[in-house]
Structure 1
Amino acid sequence: MKIRDIRTHLLKAPLGDKRFYSSQAAFPARTSLLVEVIAEDGRVGWGEGGQWGPTEPPAAVIEQIFKPMLIGRSVHDVTRIWEELYGYTRDFARRGPYLEAQSALDVALWDLKGQDLGVPIHSLFGGAFRDSVPAYATGCYYRGADVHDEAAVLEALKKEAASYVEAGFSILKIKTGLWPVDKDAKRIAAVREAVGPDIALLSDANHAYRASDALRVGRILEEYGYLMFEEPVPPEDLDGYRRLRSSLNIAIAGGECEYTRWGFRDLIVGGTLDIVQPDISVAGGLSEFAKILALATAYNLMVLPHVWGSGIALAASLQALAIIPESPYRAFPLPFETEPIVEFDRNPNPLRDDLITTPFSLVDGRLPVPQKPGLGVEVNREVLKKYTT
C-alpha cells in the first residue's frame, strides 16, 4: 500500500472563560496539528504534532520538505522512512518542529500499516500486555478570573480535586510553580485535604524552579505523601535533576521536552530521572518511543508517556502503553509501582473530546486501549472542519 497524498490540518479551539494557567503560560485555546496520510486505496492514517508552540512550523516542514519525499512510498516502510527523514535533516533539525513533523507522520504511517494488516498498532509491536490502562487525572491548574486570589483559587482547587475522585480516579496530578513556594505549599496541602490519604497524588511544575527552590517544594510534596515530582527544573539543568533525585524520597519525572533516543540516552545514562516521559507527538513518534522504552527499561526505569493534545495523541499513547511490560515484574500488577498509567488531561479540550467519533471515557478507573486496526479511532470530519484555522 503506497502513499498517494499527505494533508495537514491546523486546529484551534478557543476556551473563552475556561482558560487556565500552568507555571509557564495561559491557555486561552487548545491547538494542534493533525496530519492525514492518504493511501492509494483511499484509506487514511492520522498523526499529531504541533503541540509545543505555533502549529505552522511543523506543518510547513511536512508540506514543503517531507511530503515530496514520501509520495509513492510504501506505508510498510515505516522504520526505514523514519531513519531516512532523520538522516536527511540531522545537520539542522535534531529537535523542534522537524521532529514534531516527523512524529506526526510516523504515527500516521503506523496507523495505515495496522489498517492494511487488519490489526491494532500494539500487535505490530509484539502484542499488548493489557487491554486497558489505569488513568490519572491531570488537572488542578491555576484557574479563575484572578489567579492570584488565593482564597478563591484554593477553594475551587479543593472542589476540583474532589470531583476527580468522585469521577472514579484514584490518582491525580496537580500543578505548581506559578505562585511563590510558600503559597504553592498551600495548594499542595489543600489537594491532600480534599481527597484524603488514600488517593495517590502527583505534581508537575513545568520546569518552574531552580534546584534550590525545587528542593523546598519537593520536601513539601514528601510531607503530604505525593509520589511524583514532574519537571521540577528546566530541561537543560541536568545537574539540578541529579541533585533532586539524590536528595528527595519522591520519584523525579521528566522528558516531555526531549527528543529521540539520543536525547533520552543522555537523560537516562546521566542518572537524572526515575520516570521517563517521552511525548509520542514530539519525541519521534511510535518508532522512536519503542527505542526509548527499550533503553529506559534496561535501566529499570518507569516509562509514562506525556500526553497533551487531541484524541489522536491519546489513542497513540494508549497503543504505546499497551506494549509496556510490567517493570519490574510482579505476579500482580500495581498501578504506578509496576504497571504504567496513562495521563488523562481533564482540562477543557474539544479536540480531545469531540474530534474522534468515539470519545475516551473512564471505565473502573481505566481507559480502554482501542482494538480496531491501526490507531483504532476515527476522526469526525465535521468537528475537524469546525476547528481548522
Structure 2
Amino acid sequence: MPISRVTIFQLDWGQLAPIWHPVVVMVQTTAGQRGWGEAGLAYGTGATGVVGVLKELAPRIIGRSAWESNAIWTDFYEHTFWAKNPGSIMYAAISALDTAIWDLKARSIHQPLYQLLGGKLRDQLPAYASHIEYGWGPFSRYVTAPRDFARLAQRTVDQGYSAIKVDPITQEREHSLVTNRRLLSPAQLNCYYQRVAAIRQAVGPDMRIIIDCHANLTRRSAQQLVQCLAPLGIDYYEELLPTIDPAQTVQLARETGANLAVGEHLTGPQTYLPLIKDVAMVQPDLGNCGGITAALKIAALAETNGVGLQLHVCGSPIATATALQFEAACSSFVIHEEHEINLKAANYQSGKCHYQPVNGQYQLPNHPGIGQELSPWAIRHARITVIE
C-alpha cells in the first residue's frame, strides 16, 4: 500500500477565518486509497507554519507503505532533528500525517479505526458542553454577566448534557482580557465566583462543572481560584497555568489537592512523564500530541497511573470523528469534549458526515476509518497544496 500523494487543505471558514483556520491533510496510495488527518492548530497562531512543515515532511512518506506507521513515526522523531524537542508546529504536522495514515489503514480493510486500536469498549460516548462563555449557539458572543452564564448553562441542561466546561476568568469585562494574573484581587475573585455560582444555581448539584483557564494563571493565582471556587463543587480544573514548567503544576496539585487536567499544550508522550502521577486527567489533542501513534502511548501512561483521559477536541469535523474513534477503544476514557465551534455552520458544513450528540451522548460511527472526510463545499473553499 505505497503512499503516492499528500494533499494539504487550508480550510476557509468565511467570517470565522480570522480566528479559525484548520489545516487538514489527505494521504493517498498508488491504488487511490485515502486517509484523512488534521493538525491541531485550528486557532491561535501557527497554521501557516504547520503547512510549511507539512510540505517538508510529506516527501519523507512518499513511496512508504502505510502499514509501516511505526517506522514512519520513528523516522519523523529520529531524523528530523526538531521532533526531539516538543514544538507544537512540528508535532501538529506529524500528528496530521500519522492520523491520516491510521485512517488509510483502517479504510483499506473496510473497518472503523477503533478496530485497529483493539476494538470498541462502548457504543455511546458521553460529551460535555465546552465553553458556553462563547455564547453556545450559531454565533459567537463572549458573555460576562452571571445571568448570561446561568442562561447558557440552562440551555445545555435542556439539551441533555450532564457536564459543562467554562472559562470564567479570561474575559473580565466586555472586550477586556484578564488583567492581573499574578495575584488575583478580591474584585476579580468575586467576579469569577459569581459567574460560576450562577451556573451552579442554574444547573443544580448533579451537573459536573469543569473550569478551564487557558493557562492564564500562575501557581499562586491558581491557588486563589481553587480556594475561591471550592464551595461550588468543581469536577476538575483544566490548564490553570502553563505546562511549560511542569513542576509548577505538580506543586499546585500537591498543595491544593484539586483535580487538575493537562495536555492541550503538551506534545509527545515524554512530556507527560513529570505530570502523570499528580494530575487527575490527561487531555492530549490527536492533532498535536503526535497523532494516534503517540496518543496510544499517552493513554497507556494514563491507564497504568490511574489517570483519566479526555481528548482535547477543537477543530474541524475531521478532529471530532478521529477523537470518537480513539475514545471508543480507550480504557481510561472519561468524557468527550463537544466544543462550541461545532455549533457553527461553517464547521459542520466542512464535514461530509454530520455527527452531533443527542441528549449529551455521541453514538459511535461505524463507517470505515475515522468515518469522516472533507465535504465538497470545504474542498472548493480551501487553499490546496499537492505533494507527490
With the shorter chain as reference, the TM-score category is: 0.7 to 0.9
Residue 364 of structure 2: which of 361, 365, 369 is its match?
369
Residue 28 of structure 2: which of 16, 35, 38 is its match?
38
Residue identity opposite 2:361 in structure 1 = R
2:5 equivalent to 1:5: yes
Find the residue that maps to 2:125 and give its secondary structure. strand
2:75 equivalent to 1:84: yes
Equivalent residue, structure 2, for 1:193: 201
Residue 256 of structure 1: which of 240, 264, 273 is its match?
264
Residue identity opposite 2:262 in structure 1 = G
Cα distance in 2, alignment partners of residues 266 and 340 from structure 1: 22
Equivalent residue, structure 1, for 2:310: 304
What is the Cα-based RMSD across aligned positions, in Å?
2.2
Counterparts in 2 of 1:142 and 1:124: CA distance versus 1, 3 Å? closer
Counterparts in 2 of 1:349 and 1:39: CA distance versus 1, 3 Å? farther
Counterparts in 2 of 1:128 and 1:92: CA distance versus 1, 3 Å? closer
Equivalent residue, structure 1, for 2:301: 295
Give the fraction of aligned pairs with identical amino acids, expressed as a percent.
Answer: 28
Structure 1 residue 108 displacement after superposition: 0.4
Residue identity opposite 1:245 in structure 2 = A
Equivalent residue, structure 1, for 2:48: 56
> Over residues 313-367 of structure 1, what are the superposed CA-to-partner deviations in whole Å (9 max), with x where a residue is unaligned?
1111111111111x5xxxxxxxxxxx52100012444453111122111134211
Equivalent residue, structure 2, for 1:22: none
Cα distance in 2, alignment partners of residues 350 and 44 from structure 1: 26
Counterparts in 2 of 1:384 and 1:156: CA distance versus 1, 3 Å? farther
Residue identity opposite 2:302 in structure 1 = A
Cα distance in 2, alignment partners of residues 58 and 236 from structure 1: 20
User: Relative contact order (alpha carbons < 8 A, sep ≥ 6): 1 or 2 greater?
Assistant: 2
Structure 1 residue 196 displacement after superposition: 1.5
Residue identity opposite 2:299 in structure 1 = L
> Over residues 228-249 of structure 1, what are the superposed CA-to-partner deviations in whole Å (9 max), with x where a residue is unaligned?
1111111123233123212334
Find the residue that maps to 2:99 and give its secondary structure. helix
Find the residue that maps to 2:132 and give its secondary structure. coil
Structure 1 residue 29 displacement after superposition: 3.1
Structure 1 residue 93 displacement after superposition: 5.7
Counterparts in 2 of 1:113 and 1:237: CA distance versus 1, 3 Å? same
Equivalent residue, structure 1, for 2:182: none
Q: Which runs of 5 or more structure 1 residues have no equivalent in the other structure?
A: 17-26, 328-338
| TM-score when normalising by structure 1 | 0.87
Structure 1 residue 119 displacement after superposition: 1.0
Residue 314 of structure 1: which of 316, 320, 329 is its match?
320
Equivalent residue, structure 1, for 2:241: 233
Structure 1 residue 31 displacement after superposition: 1.5
Residue identity opposite 1:112 in structure 2 = L
Find the residue that maps to 1:109 and give its secondary structure. helix
2:158 equivalent to 1:166: yes
Structure 1 residue 137 displacement after superposition: 0.7
Q: Contact 1:310–1:351 (CA<8 Å) still a contact in 2?
A: no
Q: Contact 1:106–1:285 (CA<8 Å) still a contact in 2?
A: yes
| TM-score when normalising by structure 2 | 0.87
Moved more, 283-292 or 34-43: 34-43
In the TM superposition, 1:135-154 aligns within 5 A as 135-141=127-133, 150=144, 153-154=145-146
Equivalent residue, structure 2, for 1:23: none
> Over residues 160-208 of structure 1, what are the superposed CA-to-partner deviations in whole Å (9 max), with x where a residue is unaligned?
1111111111111111332333311111111112212221111100111
Q: Contact 2:50–2:93 (CA<8 Å) still a contact in 1?
A: yes
Structure 1 residue 91 displacement after superposition: 4.4
Residue 340 of structure 1: which of 328, 334, 341 is its match?
334
Q: Contact 2:321–2:371 (CA<8 Å) still a contact in 1?
A: yes
Equivalent residue, structure 2, for 1:352: 347
